[in-house]
Structure 1
Amino acid sequence: MLDTKSAVKEIDPITVQVVLGALENVAVEMGHKLARMSYSSIIRESEDFGCALVDIYGNQLCESSHSTPLQSGPIPGYVKGIREIMEERDDNFSPGDIIMHNSPYHGASHGPDIGICIPVFYQEELIGFSVTTAHHLDIGASTPGSCGIVDAVDAYAEGLQFKAIKVYEKGKKNRYVWDLLMDNIRAPKMVVGDIEAQIAAAKIGATRYIELLDKFGVDTIYAASNELMNYSEKMMREAITKLPDGEYKAEGFLDGYLDSADSYKKDLKICVTVKVSGSELTVDLTGTSPQVKDRPINMPLVGTVDIAVYLTLRSILLDSTTYGDFSQNSGLSRPIHIIAPKGTLCNPVFPAPTIARFTSGNMIADTLMKALAQVVPDQVSAGIGNLQVVAFSGLANEENYWVYMDIMEGSYGGRYGKDGMDAVDTLYANTRNNPIEDIETHYPLRVNRYELRDTGCAPGKWRGGIGSIREITFLEDGSFSVEADGHKFAPWGFKGGENGTVGELSIREQTGDTIKLPSKLPNRPAKAGSTIQLVGPCGGGYGNPLERDPEKVLADFLDGYISAETALEVYKVFITETNTIDYEKTNEWRRRKAE
């Protein structure tokens, strides 16, 4: 078998591009088929899944372009973890094996993100793996849903653990594993149906991979893959060499558990030091708060922290506007090194729980971007507004669970030359929102309100992105749980831009009483008629507000994003009663302020 790290076969650039297109088409087909075959909205609508092919050495060859980075990115880690476990068990891969895996201490992003791995054999030799990952709406934890399990005391309380379990062995279905799934998961038909969809999509990937080997030959596929990874590595190294050697530090903070009496569970620090030396870059997370031993805000190093780092560096240093599109593969990470002390939030020790690592990992990415802002200020945004993930659940006919997961988008900070993006999933999330029609068709919920926040955007030469407001009413008795962040620490402003606005969570009960809730909420009952209000954070502003184009200030006013008072007090733009700009007064006010 040809070693992809030292391929000897010469290959021309045209063949490389043909092979690249063929590999990417396989991953795209896997993704489309998985989305079409899935039962749950989190996969079908939000596209919270990943698909990729991985070679025998653990290198990712391609990924589904319309999946989320937090699903596709960890796939090499899933494969590595599976292989480690199987070696410990003295087990082997065989044709017909299908492996289920979700251990966050063996490469998985967190427990609900189940990976399905099919070893691919060609001419009786193992040559790689076809893998799908997806978020599942229940994993058998202590309370319904697979998010908002924010009170889990250890990894065992987070739900079922599958460590390289063969659900098919040599082509034969292991019925006992499937019985266990059906007996221990709420809404089993939906969850098991989604797992079967993953298997079908992974089978498609394995079949197409073999077809490519038949068409091009093993040596050509491996030589092209090696060339593509070397090219990606070269691009990343060239981008790193443009940075001045040195160290660049930043800090960020997580809410943690704001309602906790224990100080070590809240106001948690994220420390990032970027060390640049030639074409090598190290992200050192030393100084980050210790792990929270009995709460699942901790982040797996492999599967969450590394993906947050790799994605942020690629997005900032290799912006597609400048560098164009090129292959997403393992070559990009070769020049990047991560230091994460064990026993911290970013490298916990088993059995510390990790299921609620979503918003924590986003803060790793945000703080890394803040550090990079010192050397590439024109390539970053100001602070991002973090996300809120809600699990709604209830019993239909008092015996069958329904579960729905909603990822409420955040917002970006202002960027050089552009305002922040409003109401979008930020950084490594990249999921889509669920259509209101889909929610109300499948669940006893009504979406009463879904709109951008009023008067919340952070001032700047380029204003911060605006978070959204969503109000959802229970039509039947049920419950909900939430994992979120950014309710205490506002997104950071940059280069004179103001800080953003924090998020909020509250419930208006059927009695009419409104209760403010913390950003992390364990499962809480809700009576029919109760309404949850989710308010997303607004990103930070970028640049001096006095330098904002007055016409853009007027447009923000007309759109209802700011008031006339804010336009005058913050931007020094005078808007008349006829909704026009008085430029004489505006120029005078701005001149006075500058003095």
Structure 2
Amino acid sequence: MTVTTGNSEFDPYLTAIIANRIDGIVREMTNTLLRAARSAVINSARDFSCAICTADNQLLASAEGLPIHIFGSHMLTAAMTDRHAGDLREGDCYLHNDPYSGNSHAADHAFLVPVFIDGEHLFTTVAKAHQADIGNSLPTTYMAQARDQYEEGALIFPAVRIQRDYKMNEDVVAMCRSRIRVPNQWYGDFLAGIGSARIAERRLKELCKKYGKETIKNFMTNWMDYSEQRMIQAIKKLPKASVVRSGAHDPLAGLLPDGVPLNVKLNIDPDNSIIDLDLRENVDNVPCGFNESEACVTAAVFSGVFNSIDPTVPRNAGSFRRLDLHLRDGSVAGRPAFPHSCSLATTNVADRLINITQSAFATIGEDFGLAEGGIGMGAGTGVISGKDHRLGNEPYVNQLIVAAAGGPGSPTADGWPNYALPVVAGLMYRDSVEVDELKHPLEFQYIRILPGSAGAGKYRGSFAVEVSYGPKEQPMDAIWPCDGTHYPPKGVRGGQDGIKAQHWKINANGEEEELPNVVITVLKKGERVRGNTTSGGGYGNPFERDPRRVLKDVLDGFETIQRARDVYGVAFIGSVTTNDLAIDAEATGKLRERAAT
């Protein structure tokens, strides 16, 4: 079947075949980077994303990239084409990490390869990876207290050419090696990023050779139009609504005593199939690393939308046409004014914006939106560094991803325990404890679930997780910029909030000292940290939860018997220890009847 659309023919079968083939190329990029990288934050935690854009800077495909990375891919390629207009050619590769010209934040090194077919620039491949170290003034890629980009200290590459005619610019490599604390580890990741972008270049050339350049160009047009039509259909299923939803990021001692207030205005227009997102009424840039880059604020609110609509709608420039985003220059949730720091642009405020947007959808009806997902990069996602006594005191730096927050309740399901953060949405991996202990001189005491911590609801959020670790021999720096220690993730439609994050430093004699949300500490031998993540917010009235689900949660160790009774109105007979715990239907009915009155 072939349908004529505009100036090109739309063959649904061929379109589906090519779309899946291009997604397969992105997945091959992903596997290349995952297997070739050296740092654990990339090859274990998978804190990276791959995408393919068109030559005119439209996102074409992203497969399973992290939302905070890939929804701004077109801004990266636009920076490259603008900066090097008229000078792009086959064999080029560009390094981009400038948050003021399309990148997310300085820690994400993006590798851009323009792909030429018969002399015509047709695609740009994008491999973006979070680095273990970027030369900041402190051994972390998250500089929460940095007053500006200068105080961060990272090398910035605004779409800098690192290869011409497939040959490396060794001057750039030398600059990075001289600044980054773990140069050999970084160089392995650097080569892996280039290799990922290059493998896509090769496969795209093969694809165009098989089907012909004109067929592929027609496909790109038709795929974008098809995606827009799918988005139109999804929006038409939503009720007409205007919602203003607010939230806040935690305070930062000495700089932001009240935190960062945040607002999203959501206007759903199903008649014209437009979702309008207005973030202009947010405060000015703040004097620390919490400012959003344009790429991240765009990705955050777009993520909140895609989390709340038909999940089969393709995520690309075609569906983006139906989203109308309004930002303000010089705003913490807009376009940043140089040189304000955007060091944490991919996480803290971005997580809050995703939560605010998706929970705004929950206000329009009981079948829409999500509760707020767990937030906060605490001890389980801290950056650790020091000297490795096993390797002649060589320096090490790594971003841990061992314990992250719980997912939000939805209209139909409980929150995911592998959610991690709203900006990740379950797409990253959790570090292997054994691999982390093998690679670095640290030791984990435990990683465990906190029973009774989930935000209660008809569909509950996921539980919180607690972690504890410390160094084996030499002192270890541990740095993290946690959110959610003051303002927990919110429940919606009668669902309860998640729990707050908390952290402690435990001295060698066992004494505990509670830590602030932004932590910069040194752990000596015998000392350790422990801390718990936030949990996800609940969706709907907890007394409407199926008692069988409550029973299963208790049996699985996620929930306590006392909370089951007090929060969910579910009573039991028997016990867990004797393996005969069962629902007391009569007592449960009375508890819920009493609560209803």
2:590 aligned partner: 588
For 1:23 and 1:179, locate their aligned partners in 2 and report how far apart those are by CA, in whole Å: 35
1:286 aligned partner: 280
SS of alignment partner, residue 9 of structure 2: coil
Letter in 2 for 1:151: Q
Contact kept? 1:256, 1:268, Cα under 8 Å = yes
- Shift in CA distance, 52/548, structure 1 to aligned 2, threshold 3 Å: closer
For 1:104 and 1:192, locate their aligned partners in 2 and report how far apart those are by CA, in whole Å: 22
Contact kept? 1:297, 1:353, Cα under 8 Å = yes
**1:99 equivalent among 76, 94, 107:** 94
Does residue 359 of structure 2 align to residue 370 of structure 1?
A: yes
Contact kept? 1:7, 1:226, Cα under 8 Å = no
- Shift in CA distance, 328/566, structure 1 to aligned 2, threshold 3 Å: closer
| Structural mapping, 1:188-587, within 5 Å | 188-257=183-252, 260-262=253-255, 264=256, 266-277=258-269, 278-292=272-286, 294-301=287-294, 303-320=295-312, 327-347=314-334, 348-357=336-345, 358-388=347-377, 389-396=381-388, 400-407=394-401, 408-429=403-424, 430-475=427-472, 476-521=474-519, 523-578=520-575, 579-587=581-589
For 1:549 and 1:172, locate their aligned partners in 2 and report how far apart those are by CA, in whole Å: 62
1:3 aligned partner: none
SS of alignment partner, residue 317 of structure 1: coil
Letter in 1 for 2:282: T
Give the TM-score of the pair, scaled to structure 1: 0.92
Describe the superposition over 1:244-276 as per-residue Cα deviations: whole angstroms up to 9, x where unpaired.
Answer: 33411110111041xx134x4542111011122
Letter in 2 for 1:372: F
Letter in 1 for 2:17: V
Describe the superposition over 1:316-350 as per-residue Cα deviations: whole angstroms up to 9, x where unpaired.
Answer: 11224xxxxx6432111111111122222112211
Specify every segment of 5 or more residues in structure 1 that has no aligned partner in the other structure, as ranges: 1-5, 321-325
Q: Which moved more, 1:463-472 or 1:559-568?
A: 559-568
Report the CA distance between 1:586 and its aligned residue. 2.5
Letter in 2 for 1:510: A
SS of alignment partner, residue 366 of structure 1: helix
For 2:543 and 2:200, locate their aligned partners in 1 and report how far apart those are by CA, in whole Å: 54
Letter in 2 for 1:143: L
Letter in 1 for 2:522: P
Contact kept? 2:265, 2:278, Cα under 8 Å = yes
For 2:237 and 2:412, locate their aligned partners in 1 and report how far apart those are by CA, in whole Å: 21
Describe the superposition over 1:447-467 as per-residue Cα deviations: whole angstroms up to 9, x where unpaired.
Answer: 111111122122222222101
Contact kept? 2:458, 2:543, Cα under 8 Å = yes
Letter in 2 for 1:296: G
Contact kept? 2:388, 2:441, Cα under 8 Å = no
Report the CA distance between 1:492 and its aligned residue. 1.3
Letter in 1 for 2:589: N
Letter in 2 for 1:299: E
SS of alignment partner, residue 10 of structure 1: strand
The percent of aligned pairs where both chains have the same amino acid is: 26
SS of alignment partner, residue 316 of structure 1: coil
Describe the superposition over 1:482-505 as per-residue Cα deviations: whole angstroms up to 9, x where unpaired.
Answer: 022111112212222222211112
2:157 aligned partner: 162
Does residue 46 of structure 2 align to residue 47 of structure 1?
A: yes
Report the CA distance between 1:78 and its aligned residue. 0.7
Describe the superposition over 1:189-238 as per-residue Cα deviations: whole angstroms up to 9, x where unpaired.
Answer: 01111011111111111111112222212111011111111111111122
Q: Which moved more, 1:46-55 or 1:187-196?
A: 46-55
Describe the superposition over 1:342-391 as per-residue Cα deviations: whole angstroms up to 9, x where unpaired.
Answer: 22211221110011121210110100012111224313222211131310
For 2:45 and 2:79, locate their aligned partners in 1 and report how far apart those are by CA, in whole Å: 27
Q: Which moved more, 1:25-34 or 1:397-406?
A: 397-406
Moved over 6 A (4+): none
Contact kept? 2:371, 2:409, Cα under 8 Å = yes
- Shift in CA distance, 54/413, structure 1 to aligned 2, threshold 3 Å: closer
Describe the superposition over 1:551-582 as per-residue Cα deviations: whole angstroms up to 9, x where unpaired.
Answer: 33233333333333322222332323543333
Does residue 112 of structure 2 align to residue 117 of structure 1?
A: yes
2:578 aligned partner: none
Contact kept? 2:241, 2:364, Cα under 8 Å = no
Report the CA distance between 1:125 and its aligned residue. 2.6
Report the CA distance between 1:28 and its aligned residue. 1.4
For 1:592 and 1:243, locate their aligned partners in 2 and report how far apart those are by CA, in whole Å: 35
Describe the superposition over 1:115-169 as per-residue Cα deviations: whole angstroms up to 9, x where unpaired.
Answer: 111122222232221221111110000011323x212221123211011111122
SS of alignment partner, residue 307 of structure 2: helix
- Shift in CA distance, 552/508, structure 1 to aligned 2, threshold 3 Å: same
Specify every segment of 5 or more residues in structure 2 that has no aligned partner in the other structure, as ranges: 576-580
For 2:478 and 2:500, locate their aligned partners in 1 and report how far apart those are by CA, in whole Å: 21
Matched positions, count? 574
Letter in 2 for 1:547: E
